[in-house]
Structure 1
């Protein structure tokens, strides 16, 4: 479904991604953990060419695009197979909730207005936001804005949906509602790649957890294996700091 081969990326002369290989099966929920600067968000953005890699190939749903040798039509086709939920919502401030969701359907997918509205309203209903369709982003809580962002990503019927730290900008009391929405999305069977520090989501929802540091994948496996019994000291150190637990150097 999603396959990354030898993905490399430099920023300011520094290696951010250093030959990353990753395969994600159809319907799999993958959570990527790692400290700031580990390359996890950069990796996520290479998948839909929001931040193209310097080298390597990306395959989504059978379409393979070379990071160095690609055409505009290829990148557009790749983006149409992916949906993305951003850390800071990325909603159009001058458009209503409904317009934020229908914009891509009408302008990109060329779907008739009435059908686009029907699709958007069905998604808003699932997110318990149908009564906020005419509101503007500034009138919504952070949690509501992020759920609108999820609706917008799902509206385009992507093959894979990417989440870039979707709860990091939220007040603590709003995190639960967004995680609940993400859990509901996971139950639909769509492929999900999630960059997050929410260990509860990783433990309870993910099929696989990946730990990144220094632009490489340090280890990966079932949530129970990686979170409760990490094999690499770097993974253990990160998890201990995240959970505010004493370090244990026994591994």
Structure 2
């Protein structure tokens, strides 16, 4: 099996709170896991994993999620559902004229409800995009790491998408992380699986990844932007 993006991982104070929120938003189920809970994805929709951590506030955030809507009424209904599930409005400097709505989940993770008719996210599904900080070199690294084609590469922005379609993963250089102490680990990161991690590690290092210390028995690397990601052996059933 080739390298697969199993989930986006979030360190949070209360994993069940976050997982329950996102299961409700995405109309998925919650799966209990050691140390947390996940909201599994499928072949075209990226999964989410939440890990209960006492130090979740110590590391920086470098990504947020975009949800699509089909009409103005649908967008408003999604916002109302988010608020009912424990989300809240979030001010990140957006003006009142912006067509999207910025919220935070119960654990403070940012999400945007995108306006209907957004051509860029057309056909991606409910979880339209995982938007990350990072220079174009980071997006090209993930293109090669995952074997997903670039669907955007202009003006400092890059994005990849599975050949099957679905959720896009993007990077924007104008939002790059500020310098941080080397010991501060990202509280949002990718969790990758494959059948032969030993071989994949060497390939990823050759592409520009760096090796980090193992975390909870899982190998951890960092992409060229310094963002950690986990790599573990597939159990054979990934979803």
TM-score, normalization: structure 2? 0.32
Q: Higher helix share goes to which structure?
A: 1
TM-score, normalization: structure 1? 0.31
Q: Higher strand share goes to which structure?
A: 2
Higher relative contact order (CA 8 A, sep 6+): 1
Question: Which of the two has higher C-alpha Rg?
Answer: 1
